[in-house]
Amino acid sequence: SLVDELSAWDKKHFLHPTSPIQQQQDLGPAFIFTEGKGVYLHDLLGKKVIDGMSSLWNVNIGHGREELGLIASDQMTKLAFTSNFATFSNEPAIRLAKKLSDISPGNLQATFFTSGGSEANDTAYKLARHYWMLKGQNNRKKIISRTKSYHGVAIGSTSATGLKPFRDFTNSLAPDFLHVDNFSSQALRDLIEKEGPETIAAFIAEPVQGAGGVHIAPENYFKEVKEICEEYGVLFITDEVITGFGRTGKYFGIEHYGVTPDLMCFAKGVTSGYAQLGGVMLSSDIYQAFTEMSKGTLLHGYTYSGHPVACAVALKNIEIIESEHLIANANQLGNELLKGLQNVQNKCGIVGEVRGLGLMGAVEIVKNKSSQERYTNPVAPLIVSAAAKNGLICRSVVFDGQDTLVFAPPLSINKEELYSLVQILTESILSIEGTY
Ligand code: PLP
């Protein structure tokens, strides 16, 4: 059959990103997706599942929006590509840079475009360091990030990523990356003091940690962090790759904490995955340093920086987020998601803490509710498999001894679909609970 043939080719020829290699080789693809509509995905066998992860936390407006296909087709037909190096430019990139400035926290002034989040973060480290060179502080080159962070897989972003397995995958990392305890602003202060503030270029953090297991900062954490950064002259970078474009119920996650970044990285939700795009936004202070103080050439640029098709898709995506009030929906249905997860907690014997902000949620699996003791071998991956069979895609996080399920459905999800997500989750946990 077609499925058998494709599965065999998949195993033989397709090295999958971020995947358990042995399992992929043994079992082949669990789904070969062919179509998406709203929160649902369909596969080659005709199975329909709820995309409880917005695929990779990114399909914010949901699947199958024809408007995005049409805008991409129009732009590709008119002008698929042109250089933006030196003095060349294109209309969608200009309009998007302007729009991003209007919607960003603190109205960050300018955008440097990339094709995704890893490139965005690597760009941020380089621009932060170059900024200090322009200011005559060449020693400010160290980048501090947090222990449960995920910042991508380019060599700089891998080095910044706090989750150790990602760093251990390669045996040589970039120098001048330091890690600090996840939610302790005092630990950040201590590290800056120990290293010497004059050696620190920037601190980078996700407003809500995604890949690390949906960890939400204590209320005052970012206020304190921002104060510390200002006190020591360290640039504050927010990695909004997951939390941007409405995911947490505000346009950008950092808005929950009432502080503004010096640099802000984004990707994913900027196009809802309909095209590959990311970028870094710069405060006016940093942008001015580049435009007024730099006598040389900005020697950093990707072929696809400011790709006209990706930028046109982003503009249409943002228009939909705004016209369909998807951020308000994420906020409202985020509350429903959290309530739903609390119900799951009440009904299931192996659910410990649940947490959420907007449409990011997490469920901790524990052996014993009162002691929060965990199973020796993580159980969350078994629940993920059961849920997939029952019609729900979600993800497990087992780094650092965690045993966690995470959720991030499209911002366009409605109440009925959300209840159905929670229902399938409950059944799936109970089915595994029964076997333990
Ligand atoms: N930063 C964060 C917070 C992410 O979650 C991700 C990807 O999941 C990245 C950066 C890397 O982005 P990309 O996979 O587009 O390179």
Helix axes 308-323, 326-347, angle to 10 degrees: 70
Residue of 208, 240, 247, 268 with the most ligand 1 atoms within 8 Å of its CB, for mutation: 268
Residue 436, pLDDT > 80, answer no
Q: Which residue has a Cα nearest atom 1 of ligand 1?
A: 151
CA–centroid distance, 245 to ligand 1, in Å, is: 14
Residue to probe by mutation, ligand 1, list 118, 123, 248, 397, most atoms within 8 Å of CB? 118
Q: Are strands 177-180 and 142-146 parallel, antiparallel or unpaired?
A: parallel
ipTM of the complex: 0.99
Q: Where are the domains of the chain?
A: 31-61+325-433, 67-323
Structure tokens at 174: 């970039």
Name which of 178-187, 272-281, 293-302 the model is least confident about: 293-302
Measured in Å, residue 408 CA sits from the centre of ligand 1 at 14
Task: Report CA(222)–ligand 1 centroid distance (Å).
Answer: 20
Measured in angstroms, how far is the CA atom of residue 1 from the centroid of ligand 1? 36
Give the whole-number percent of the chain exceeding pLDDT 70. 100
Choice from 151, 216, 304 to test ligand 1 binding pocket (greatest atom count within 8 A of CB):
151
Q: Tens of pLDDT along 2-11? A: 999 999 999 9
- Which pLDDT band, with edges at 50, 70 and 90, does 369 fall under? confident
Strand-pairing partners, residue 406, are: 362, 395
Show the 3-state SS of the chain: CHHHHHHHHHHHHCCCCCCCHHHHHHHCCCCCEEEEEECEEEECCCCEEEECCHHHHCCCCCECCHHHHHHHHHHHHHHCCCCCCCCCCCHHHHHHHHHHHHHCCCCCCEEEEECCHHHHHHHHHHHHHHHHHHCCCCCCCEEEEECCCCCCCCHHHHHHCCCHHHHHCCCCCCCCEEEECCCCHHHHHHHHHHHCHHHEEEEEECCEECCCCCEECCCCHHHHHHHHHHHHCCEEEEECCCCCCCCCCCCCHHHHHCCCCCEEEECHHHCCCCCCCEEEEECHHHHHHHHHHCCCCCCCCCCCCCCHHHHHHHHHHHHHHHHCCHHHHHHHHHHHHHHHHHHHHHHCCCEEEEEEECCEEEEEECCECCCCECCCCCCHHHHHHHHHHHCEECEEECHHHCCEEEECCCCCCCHHHHHHHHHHHHHHHHHHHCCC
Q: Say if domain 31-61+325-433 classifies as CATH 3.90.1150.10.
A: yes
Residues having CB within 6 Å of any atom of ligand 1:
116-118, 121, 150-152, 206, 210-211, 239, 241-242, 267, 278
Q: How far is the CA of 151 from the centre of ligand 1 (A)?
A: 6
Domain 67-323: assigned CATH number? 3.40.640.10
pLDDT at 434 over 80: no
Q: Could you tell me the distance, in angstroms and rounded to a whole number, from the CA of residue 166 to the centre of ligand 1?
A: 13
- Residues 6+ away with beta carbon under 8 Å from 37: 62, 63, 64
**Paired sense of beta strands 404-407 and 395-397, if any:** antiparallel
319-348 average pLDDT score: 98
Site to probe by mutation for ligand 1, drawn from 150, 161, 270, 304 as the one with most ligand atoms within 8 Å of Cβ, is: 150
**Cα–Cα distance for residue pair 195/200, rounded to 1 Å:** 8
Summarize pLDDT for 224-274 with one digit per residue, the tens.
Answer: 999 999 999 999 999 999 999 999 999 999 999 999 999 999 999 999 999
Task: Give pLDDT, residue 435.
Answer: 83
Rg, the chain, Cα only: 22
Q: pLDDT averaged over the chain?
A: 97
Nearest CA to ligand 1 atom 12: 117
Structure token digits, residue 325: 């009030």
Distance 156 CA to ligand 1 centre (A): 13
| pLDDT over 80 (residue 122) | yes
The mean pLDDT of 204-215, rounded to a whole number, is: 98
CA 434 / ligand 1 centre spacing (Å):
36
